[in-house]
Structure 1
Amino acid sequence: MEKMYETRAMWSHYFLWDKFFGYIRTTSQCKGINSLIRFYVNRKNTLIEFMHNLDRALKEYRNNELIANFKSQCSEPVMITSLEVYERSASCYFTRNIFKEICNEIQRAGALNIKVLSTTLDKVEFSVTALGDSAKDRQVEVDRSKNLFSCSCKLFESRGIPCSHVFYSMKFENILEFPNSLIYKRWTKNAKNEFISLEMLVNDDVEKVLKFRVGALASNCNKLCDIACKDLVDFDEIQSKLVKLVIRLQSRKQGKSTPNVNVEGINDPFVVKSKGAPSKRSSWRKKRACSNCHKYGHYYKHCPDLMQHSMQGNPCD
């Protein structure tokens, strides 16, 4: 017990209150991965079955990650709080799961009271208390010159999420833009872009090399799209260059020279006649023949042969 007490700074929650762990917890605190693998792996599996089932569990993990990335990049959440300016700014930077937790902190800011403790030229200190519970007192310090925020609850230092006390201080200071000091890079939508190396690894596995190349190109394309889409001139320039580049690469793969194609204006494709039966409204129609003489230009009732027989006294039914 004495030896454990000497190392209390390494395991006690009080000493680790301001340390960031990125939601990494021990297996005694998180049983999620055990419950997931339990559906794929059991003690009756052979070694080969165990490896195949474990690979299926990892594929489900990766599929869930792809679905979460798609929702974060290609969908917009519904604004539910009264501080919409902060909520909309957070939706542009953070992923969907982190955005939900930030919305919870923005909602808690509505049940807080604030009091100014001290004010200087660049810094101001607040005392933020919960409505109806003055015992839960938190001190928030705001650096106006550097646009920095610090709270005694240490939520941003431990989890990378701004707390409700900071949001209420921003509201009191009439800060309309989400400060960069409260944006933790790990929880943003483009967190992986800077961690993909541009150097190609030497590997005999062709599939892994192709995946690496796709990831590196996708990272740079995402950065290019974020920069070029904000200006119309940049957008037109990048669009024309990309079309030329695609045509040049396609012609190189086909073993042909680069065709002289004017890509300044891209129009709609030519309309060609579709296959299948003609439309009922078409002007082309099949001519009808006489059922008696099988000639065109008249019908059975007006057939000349029948009229000639009738005039000769040989009527035909």
Structure 2
Amino acid sequence: MVREYRNNELEAHFKSIHGNPVITTCLDPLERFAANVYTRELFLDVRREIVGVGGVNFVTKVRRSTTIVYTIEDYGIPGRPLTLLYDRVVNRVQCPCQFWLRKGYPCRHMFFVLKHEHARKIPSKLVLNRWRKDTKSLENYGEGRAYECSERGFLLRQGALHSASQWFSFVATHSPGLFKTAMSGIRALCEQIEAACDQKGPSAKGRDTPSVKDPVVVKTKVAPGLRK
């Protein structure tokens, strides 16, 4: 079960890096920027907020020095205006709904202000590092002394190679010439890796896959019988 969870994590991370979701909203630059920055799973939530811009109504706009004060209201909730602050100098947007503080990504009110300002990117201060898909690289899986001789390191390296080989196979099958080149390269690489394993000895092959033994059986304790 844990092996499947870790493999699913690697596959989801690989799709986030190499996948290109279909752009469906009218705010193409903002949606495309979000698709290139956020992970695939979070991008779906961010896109819902971009779509929600259609449910925001404009009320007033006032310029105060370098700050622009927007007053907006949600569709269907008249009489409850929201005041947003947009600073062009520091490229910052503040919204009183506190959605960004709870979720970690911009709300539909912020996207409405970015749309009104003709912004093509989400401000860097609104993009948290933990939601970026380039925070974790596939090449870094399994690195470090803690992962060298453990089963987790073995599974991470296996999953990373499996994910990378899927894209390699897709590209190599576009033409017969690329297919032959890929097959010859794979055979040569396999021979090289097998030769390196033989030099290390048979003990090195099974070092990364420790065996799991059965647990020790302990006699259960029962409640003592009651005498009449």
Fold in common (TM above 0.5): yes
Task: Confirm or deny that 1:129 pairs with 2:79.
Answer: no
Change (3 A) 1:146 1:212: farther
Task: Confirm or deny that 1:186 pairs with 2:127.
Answer: no
Structure 2 equivalent of residue 163 of structure 1: 107
Structure 1 equivalent of residue 63 of structure 2: 119
Give how far 1:175 is off.
Answer: 1.4
Listed one character per residue, the Cα deviations across residues 139-192 of structure 1 (whole Å, up to 9, x for unaligned) are 211111000111111111111110000011011112122321221111111223
Query: Structure 2 unaligned runs (5+)?
Result: 162-188, 198-228
Change (3 A) 1:68 1:121: same
Match of 2:150 among 207, 217, 226: 207
Structure 1 segment 29-48 matched on structure 2, within 5 A: none
Give how far 1:211 is off.
Answer: 4.9
Which is richer in helix?
Answer: 2
Listed one character per residue, the Cα deviations across residues 51-71 of structure 1 (whole Å, up to 9, x for unaligned) are xxxxx2x22322221221122
Q: Distance in 2 between matches of 1:147 and 1:211?
A: 44
Query: Structure 1 unaligned runs (5+)?
Result: 1-55, 219-246, 255-317
Between Structure 1 and Structure 2, how many residues are aligned? 169
Give how far 1:115 is off.
Answer: 2.8
Give how far 1:201 is off.
Answer: 3.2
Aligned CA RMSD, in angstroms, stands at: 3.6
Structure 1 equivalent of residue 36 of structure 2: 92
| Contact 1:155 1:162 survives alignment (8 Å) | yes
Aligned residues with identical type, % of pairs: 29
| Contact 2:23 2:31 survives alignment (8 Å) | yes
**Which amino acid in the other structure matches residue 206 of structure 1?**
C
Higher relative contact order (CA 8 A, sep 6+): 2
Moved over 6 A (4+): none
Q: Distance in 2 between matches of 1:201 and 1:97?
A: 31
Give how far 1:136 is off.
Answer: 4.2
Listed one character per residue, the Cα deviations across residues 87-113 of structure 1 (whole Å, up to 9, x for unaligned) are 011000011111111111011101211
Give how far 1:208 is off.
Answer: 5.4
Q: Please give the TM-score of this superposition, normalised by the length of structure 1.
A: 0.45
SS of structure 2 residue aligned to 1:133: coil
Q: Distance in 1 between matches of 2:80 and 2:7?
A: 42
Match of 1:150 among 70, 80, 94: 94
Q: Distance in 2 between matches of 1:136 and 1:87?
A: 28
Give how far 1:214 is off.
Answer: 5.6
Q: Please give the TM-score of this superposition, normalised by the length of structure 2.
A: 0.61
